[in-house]
Amino acid sequence: MRASSATGNPQLQEWADSAAPSTIRANGARLAQHSAEFASRTWAPQVLPFDRARRDVARLAKAFIDRHFRGPVCMEDLCGATGVGVRTVQRRFRKRFGVSATGYLKAVRLDAAYRDLVAAQPSDDYVTTIALRNGYSHLGRFAAEFRERFGQLPSETLRSVPSTLQGAAFAESRA
């Protein structure tokens, strides 16, 4: 029993007998076509255009670190700069440069701190200021990492600068 015949309305019954089947068939055909298109887009392998930014994730991450190493840099920042996820940044950076992104960030900061310490005047500059300027907020960790990389404490590097520079100037004057 149809719902339209239960109402007893002859116009509704006429529509149900004539128009509804053609409408349902047309809508059904469109629905089948859309479903097939969706399935082909969703499940068929897609050929995406080559994306150079995805290929050079490591290069983009390195450039971001080189520009922003003095401030706080986290993996989310690198992901935003490269447009990929954390695991992709980590994997591609290690594959291209042989070191993790955080290891590279630490090396860049330590090298910059070393250059600043060598160029500093012991009477005017402080190790704390130089460490903070180069992105370190934990001074004990900075001193430990600096000593591990350069074989001496940052304060020793700062104190030894004038004698080193004087010795270099003396050697140049004798040549």
Tokens of 18: 């004539």
Is residue 21 one of the residues assigned to a domain?
no
Is residue 106 one of the residues assigned to a domain?
yes
Structural domain boundaries, residue 134: 52-162
State the number of CA atoms in the 13 A half-sphere of 76 facing the CB: 1
The values of phi and psi at residue 123, to 5°, are -80, -20
Encode pLDDT of 114-126 as tens digits: 999 999 888 888 9
Specify whether the backbone of 41 is left (phi greater than 0), alpha (psi in -120 to 50) or beta. alpha
Is residue 6 one of the residues assigned to a domain?
no
Is residue 23 one of the residues assigned to a domain?
no
Is residue 128 one of the residues assigned to a domain?
yes
Q: Cα–Cα distance between 132 and 116 in angstroms, integer? A: 12
Number of domains in the chain: 1
Encode pLDDT of 36-78 as tens digits: 565 555 444 443 344 555 568 999 999 999 999 999 999 999 9
Band (129; pLDDT cuts 50, 70, 90): very high
Q: Which residue intervals of the chain are DSSP H helices?
A: 3-7, 10-43, 52-55, 57-68, 75-82, 86-97, 101-119, 127-133, 139-150, 154-174
Is residue 100 one of the residues assigned to a domain?
yes
* pLDDT score recorded for residue 43: 43
- What pTM was estimated for this model as a whole? 0.62
The values of phi and psi at residue 165, to 5°, are -70, -40
Q: Cα–Cα distance between 86 and 83 in angstroms, integer? A: 10
Is residue 27 one of the residues assigned to a domain?
no
Q: Cα–Cα distance between 4 and 13 in angstroms, integer? A: 5
User: What is the domain-level CATH number for residue 143?
Assistant: 1.10.10.60
Is residue 31 one of the residues assigned to a domain?
no
Q: Cα–Cα distance between 102 and 74 in angstroms, integer? A: 8
